[in-house]
Structure 1
Amino acid sequence: SYSNFVFVCTGSLGFPLIGQSISLLRALRSNTDYQWYQDRIKKYGPVSKMSVFGSPTVLMAGPASNHFVFSNQDLIFTQTKAINVLIGCSIMTLSGDELKQVRSALQGYLSPEMVTKYVWKMDEEVRRHIDLNWVGHKTIKVAPLAKRLTFNIISSVMFGQGAAPFREALAIDFEKVVRAALSIPVNIPFTKFNKGLSASRRIRKLLRQIAHEREAAFQQGYCSSADDFFTYMLALRSEGKHSLTVEDIVDNAILLLIAGYETSSVLITFLIRQLANEPDILGKITDEQEEIARNKGPNKPLTWNDVSRMKYTWKVAMETLRTVPALLGSFRTATKDIEYRGYHIPKGWQVFSSHLLMKDSAEINTEIAYHFLI
């Protein structure tokens, strides 16, 4: 019970379960979350208690607080209750040797050596998307198109052509899961969380089917570990490098989808806004891209070497991520009672650090802000 704890930090937990979830979600939808954090910090200070997404939480702001959150061994990485239920047994819920095995497998799959093998798939998806949704259109809505492009690229790389016939239905269900990830975890009919759970079950059923098909094809030698995520994970399992079941692999596939989908689509959206508002930066990026294109033959697919030459484009993307973080923030859970500068953080409570507030630090801005804007 919330009333069993005595707090040093100020703030309010609001109504049980709901807390400040509704007001925060409203701010996120209206793109006023930065002001939401600032108002709360002005009212309660840089460390305050609240309740979001069904969990009592301590909001921490400022460089010192962020260092404490990310370096304290008694604070373990966690996610909202909704995400844990929707995703299942992923790398975020594992521990010990099993965590090490899965982390090593995922790092291998996402390594530059593996990514180089997927560049042509990404290039193919981008060309198809631009021809279909951008060319010949006087105006477009960037955000939804960026989401669809990102989803198509990730699903193509992770699942190969096996998911192509189901991509449209998969995309619709996946959007429901993403919306449910930041919701109050109450399974009542017609709520976002309820719809997300139903969509998650359908996604799991489809991905389980694809995984079993890949498993059979791999055992018969019809595909290799470089073809898609499922085959890669199954190949590692056959070599004794992890012991995940097909169900576990599906759960981690959903996690990768969510992680890549949100961050990439948000980055694309705000990067395009940045280019629209900064003609000088747009001009430099255009020059860089045209130089790369001139060194290639017409209609030749993009290569990893081409991507590695996009130095200025990459800097602009990183600066966009710094000023407009793609993630809500980072949640940690206290494994025991913790004290921070006189503030009491009870065992089992979440600690939340917003990436958006990091840009307020003058010393960090001085060190990190890229000089290409000059």
Structure 2
Amino acid sequence: MEEVAKLLAVLALFVLSLHFITKFLKLRNRPSLRHLPPGASGWPVVGETFEFRKRSLEGSPTRFIQERMDKYDSRVFKTSLFGSLLAVLCGPAGHKFLFSNENKNVQVWWPGSVRKLMSQSLVSRVGDEAKMTRKLLLSFLNAETLRNFVPKMDSIAQRHIKTHWEGKVQVLVYPIIQLYTFELACCLFLSIEDSQVPNLSSLFDVFLKGIIAFPINLPGARFHRAMKAADAIRKEIKMILKKRKVNLEEKRASPTQDLLSHLLVTSDANGRFLSDMEIIDNILLLLFAGHDTSRSVISSVMNYLGQLPQVYELVLKEQLEISQGKEEGELLRWEDVQKMKYTWNVVSEVMRLSPPVRGAYREAIKDFTYADYNIPKGWKLLWNTGSSHKDPTLFSNPENFDPSRFEGEGPVPFSYVPFGGGPRMCLGQEFARLEILVFMHNIVKRFKWNLVLHDEKFKYDPLLEPEKGLPIQLQPSPLLPNTFSRHIIH
């Protein structure tokens, strides 16, 4: 069986190679295929994918980008990833061009694995259809709506810490944080019962590993396992959706209780409601984006705070000041989170140095010129945090940890892009900010920690994650011996 799978995989790559070569031969005489950005296409079909993935697993995708910027052109270079020729537009100018040219020169594009795994979601929508879907989702994910969920987030964070951290001497941060971020996403998006969370969480682990991969749907392949996991997740969400429709009709569920209810009762500007499959795939997208990126960020923040005790102390000081202004047992509110300015500057600096995602893709929808080079219609485009986040001309002493970079006006526009920008800026930016800050408020008040592995490597697979799970040793916070227990929700 294994030999048959290998043979089928080779045949699939051979067919892809023929398609790729035929397409190139048909297009090579187009004027726009002259004076292309400099660079290398690598091997047929796979291009430079293996080198890109190697750097990602080493935790240094920035090196892949920087080497080519130095060798070819610091503004733009060409490469080939996941079977597609693409141009990498670098630095603030490249980011600005891609973010401001949505539906003009470019439109969103994702590798085939992403499109197939979430075919009915926003990631596969372009033009007016994408605008309508995005607006519908943002009407739930905006600050005005999410502010009402802050007390619930605080309650979940406190319960999580009480259950999974208290009484422990050592914990693995990365897998434990997923329990918090996934439970929070399940609660706000689906009002899911606690008993369903572990099964869905394990399915999402499989789903995540195949989301950026060659879309070869053969047994044993990452993408094949991801497809099976996605089908199982859809089945669970579909059952919840059917039950929710009945409960809404019978007034046993609230139209505003979570994202699912919101999507079932809300139409777009044209009066069209999303189909069941569109709702399911968009919730699948947001469950993935709403917990895994935040898990990555929180893990990185705890890693940096473990290395920088002086920064930890300042974060703790800010959070204690917020707690001291609250009544016993009172949960966090929106106004409290707005006071966490230094803590968010720390998180922002962590995301500059260690962004949870490397970038995102676009597609040229017509021939255009950029930085004196021709970009042909159909070419894929990539913006990448590695081309600006550590640029010494944009951030002085870029390897130094300095939260003050985000005070006042902050970094140069389009130089700091962990959430992207423009019409396609991350939908869950505000949700992520709240879940990260609420967790940090609770964890620093309760614990200090020491890193077990002081030089643990973080790799991208596909999101940033600690190779060994980030083991830490816990110590009760010496500055708050009794106050924390006062605020725990029993």
TM-score, normalised via structure 2 length: 0.71
Tell me how many residue pairs correspond in the alignment. 371
Corresponding position of 2:95: 66
Check if 1:315 corresponds to 2:351: no
Shift of 1:292: 1.5
Select which of 217, 221, 227 maps to 1:191. 221
* Cα RMSD, aligned residues only: 2.4
Supply the distance in 1 between the matched residues of 2:332 and 2:272 (Cα, whole angstroms).
33
| Bigger proportion of residues as helix | 1
Select which of 43, 51, 56 maps to 2:85. 56
Corresponding position of 2:179: 148
Check if 1:20 corresponds to 2:51: no
Q: Output aligned runs, 1:218-233, within 5 Å.
A: 218-233=248-263
Task: Report if aligned partners of 2:264, 2:273 keep a CA contact under 8 Å in 1.
Answer: no
Supply the distance in 1 between the matched residues of 2:217 and 2:133 (Cα, whole angstroms).
30
Task: Report if aligned partners of 1:63, 1:361 keep a CA contact under 8 Å in 2.
Answer: no
Amino acid at match of 1:84: R
Shift of 1:241: 4.4
Shift of 1:228: 1.4
Task: Report if aligned partners of 2:45, 2:83 keep a CA contact under 8 Å in 1.
Answer: yes
Relative to 1, partners in 2 of residues 1:44 and 1:148: Cα closer, same or farther, differing over 3 Å? farther
Shift of 1:25: 2.1
Corresponding position of 2:280: 250
Pick the structure with greater CA Rg. Answer: 2
Supply the distance in 2 between the matched residues of 1:104 and 1:9 (Cα, whole angstroms).
35
Task: Report if aligned partners of 2:133, 2:268 keep a CA contact under 8 Å in 1.
Answer: no
Corresponding position of 2:165: 134
Relative to 1, partners in 2 of residues 1:299 and 1:56: Cα closer, same or farther, differing over 3 Å? same
Task: Report if aligned partners of 1:102, 1:242 keep a CA contact under 8 Å in 2.
Answer: no
Corresponding position of 1:369: 405
Shift of 1:237: 3.6
Three-state SS of the structure 1 residue aligned to 2:219 is coil
Q: Output aligned runs, 1:79-118, within 5 Å.
A: 79-118=110-149
Supply the distance in 2 between the matched residues of 1:241 and 1:263 (Cα, whole angstroms).
33
1:35-72 CA-to-partner distances (Å, cap 9, x unmatched) read 22222323333322222123221122222222222223
Select which of 211, 216, 234 maps to 2:264. 234
Corresponding position of 2:209: 179
Amino acid at match of 2:50: I
Task: Report if aligned partners of 1:101, 1:241 keep a CA contact under 8 Å in 2.
Answer: no
Relative to 1, partners in 2 of residues 1:330 and 1:97: Cα closer, same or farther, differing over 3 Å? closer
Amino acid at match of 1:316: V
Corresponding position of 1:324: 354
Amino acid at match of 1:76: Q
Supply the distance in 2 between the matched residues of 1:236 and 1:242 (Cα, whole angstroms).
9
Supply the distance in 1 between the matched residues of 2:192 and 2:98 (Cα, whole angstroms).
42
Amino acid at match of 2:24: Y
Task: Report if aligned partners of 1:333, 1:351 keep a CA contact under 8 Å in 2.
Answer: yes
Amino acid at match of 1:78: W
Task: Report if aligned partners of 1:117, 1:226 keep a CA contact under 8 Å in 2.
Answer: no
Corresponding position of 1:348: 378
Task: Report if aligned partners of 1:121, 1:156 keep a CA contact under 8 Å in 2.
Answer: no
Select which of 320, 323, 336 maps to 1:293. 323
Supply the distance in 2 between the matched residues of 1:65 and 1:181 (Cα, whole angstroms).
25
Supply the distance in 1 between the matched residues of 2:161 and 2:340 (Cα, whole angstroms).
20
Shift of 1:194: 0.7
Query: What are the ranges of 5 or more consecutive residues in structure 2 without an aligned counterpart?
Result: 1-22, 397-403, 411-490
Amino acid at match of 2:388: M
Amino acid at match of 1:26: K
Three-state SS of the structure 2 residue aligned to 1:92 is helix
Check if 1:40 corresponds to 2:68: yes
Larger displacement relative to structure 2 (346-355 or 301-310) = 301-310
Supply the distance in 1 between the matched residues of 2:153 and 2:314 (Cα, whole angstroms).
23
Supply the distance in 1 between the matched residues of 2:180 and 2:80 (Cα, whole angstroms).
34
Supply the distance in 1 between the matched residues of 2:331 and 2:83 (Cα, whole angstroms).
47
Amino acid at match of 1:348: G
Shift of 1:33: 1.2
Three-state SS of the structure 1 residue aligned to 2:108 is strand
Select which of 243, 255, 262 maps to 1:213. 243
